[in-house]
A and B are shown apart, each in its own frame.
Chain A
């Protein structure tokens, strides 16, 4: 059940959390940076994804802070979330390697 390929937004959100906990705005910024500005998550999409990832126990709430009377909730990867991200990254890398190898056989293994 868990071997199903991830959606890109899910992959990027988990990647954004791989280096440490982030709040909502931080995740949006990180995802934009990781994707070179190609993926700009909107709040509705982000929180729908965060809600699902929490339900699937891939992420969890790290801590909450109130800054300028506004709530900041920090999320972090769970050990299972880290494993899923690593597995998905390996899968994508294997596919990319295979594609590049076939496109240019002279390159050999990337």
Chain B
């Protein structure tokens, strides 16, 4: 066992270290603050009066990692959170596509309906298309917010977030199945692909947060990470 060397007696140095340790989240400080201080004082140079630049940078970097929740998060949860952010990005891409191609979609449908020479049917279908586009523009931003919220809450380790993520994924599965069964014809290949991609992302994220390695992170009381 390595013996600890005597720490240089400098109240200035200790105060400096305490100021740096104060950058860490409160719960971490409470649990580890004194211990880190002991190590810092033990590893300080003889006669050192202030924290060095590189050790200060190291402590600040550690504090930032703690505050961003990058330290305690198991890799499984970390990957799940990243996938959830990816899900939000994928939905954003869908939203941008819908906004940019809304005119083309209307024109394409109108052009296809022109062959039937039935103004009443054309008006009815165009009305339905417009409603679909408006619903997409409203629903997709909500879905993006849900992806981001789930990423944040699961990253924090809230147990309810894991349950909520599973429920939302189950809900999306049911919704997707109903849509597919009821109206396969209305789905364009691009829409099917985008739905498939976001579904796979959701599935992977849910599997990751349900893995055994993720369990302890959620069971533990979420601290200020």
Which residues of A are at the interface with B, using a C-beta cutoff of 8 A? Answer: 1-2, 4, 20, 22-26, 28-30, 42-48, 51-52, 54-57, 67, 70-73
For A42, give its contact among B42, B54, B65 (CB under 8 Å).
B54
Cβ of B211 under 8 Å from chain A? yes
Q: Chain B's interface: helix, strand, loop or mixed, by majority?
A: helix
A73 / chain B contacts, CB cutoff of 8 Å = 35
Please tell me which one of the listed residues B34, B54, B217 contacts residue A55 in the complex, with CB atoms under 8 A apart. Answer: B217
**Cβ contacts B67-87/A at 8 Å (1 or 0 each):** 000011111100100000000
Chain A CB within 8 A of B216 CB? yes
Interface residues, chain B, CB within 8 Å of chain A?
Answer: 1-2, 4, 7, 28, 32, 34-43, 54-55, 58-63, 65-66, 71-76, 79, 211, 213, 216-217
List of B residues within 8 angstroms of A24 by Cβ: 35-36, 38-39
Q: Please indicate which of the listed interface residues A24, A43, A67, A73 has the most CB atoms of chain B within 10 Å of its own CB.
A: A43
A56 contact set on B, CB distance < 8 A: 74-75, 213
Known: A42-B55, A48-B66, A51-B28. A70 touches B74 (CB 8 A): no
- In the complex, how many residue pairs between chain A and chain B have their CB atoms under 8 Å apart? 92
Task: Knowing that A44-B62, A51-B71 touch, tell me 13 more A-B residue pairs with CB under 8 angstroms.
Answer: A23-B4, A25-B39, A42-B43, A42-B55, A42-B58, A44-B61, A47-B62, A48-B62, A51-B32, A67-B4, A70-B41, A72-B4, A72-B38
Partner of A52, one of B1, B60, B72: B72
Q: Are A44 and B55 in contact (CB under 8 A)?
A: yes
> B195 to chain A: closest CB distance in Å?
27
- Complex: how many Å from CA A44 to CA B66? 10
Asked whether B28 lies within 8 Å of A43 as measured between CB atoms, the reply is no
**26 A-B residue pairs with CB within 8 Å:** A1-B76, A4-B75, A22-B1, A23-B4, A24-B36, A25-B38, A25-B42, A26-B1, A28-B43, A42-B43, A43-B43, A43-B55, A43-B59, A44-B59, A48-B65, A48-B71, A51-B28, A51-B71, A51-B72, A55-B217, A56-B213, A70-B7, A70-B34, A70-B38, A70-B41, A71-B38
